[in-house]
Amino acid sequence: MRPRPWKSTPVHFPFAFLFLLLAPVAAWGAWLGWDQRRDVHPDGSVTGPYEAWQVIGLVVTLVGPVCWAASRRHTPIAVFGTTAGLTAAAWYDWSDDSSGLFVIGVGLIMVTTLVVTFALSALITFVTRDGRRAPEA
């Protein structure tokens, strides 16, 4: 049997985890980190600081690294690395809130990221087996 060059060895796990830990932090900084002002509308209502397109961009950006890791059977790393990175970025960005309610937001980010990355990783692992599509049933 010919070795596959894309197959990972156990040595690659720390590098994959570090990549999946830092990718969400970088994506958070690129998509959400620069926008810190709330928008005040003429009627007095306040929205923000993030627009919907920024959050969608963040999610779409993180799909790539999660799919990459899951297709190489790094499912736990894809789930826990991405969750830890995104949770840390949210905590750092929101921790200056004096009300303390940022902890609820960070908790929601953590749980949602954990569930979504697990579901996406499971789907990618099911669909790709040894680089091929899963056999049709």
Give the model confidence (pLDDT) of 25-55 as tens digits: 999 999 988 877 777 778 888 777 888 899 9
With a cut of 90, say whether residue 65 has pLDDT above it: yes
Over range 50-66, report the average pLDDT: 93
Examine residue 26 and state whether it is found in any structural domain, yes or no. no
Examine residue 40 and state whether it is found in any structural domain, yes or no. no
Examine residue 94 and state whether it is found in any structural domain, yes or no. yes
- Residue numbers of the domain that contains 93: 52-137
Tell me how many helices (H) and strands (E) the chain has.
4, 4
Per-residue pLDDT band for 134 (boundaries 50, 70, 90) equals very low
Per-residue pLDDT band for 131 (boundaries 50, 70, 90) equals low
Residue with tokens 């929101």: 94
Q: How many domains does the chain have?
A: 1
* Structure-token pair, residue 54: 């920024």
Examine residue 128 and state whether it is found in any structural domain, yes or no. yes
| Cα atoms found within 13 Å of the Cα of residue 114, Cβ hemisphere only | 9
Residue with tokens 């779409």: 60
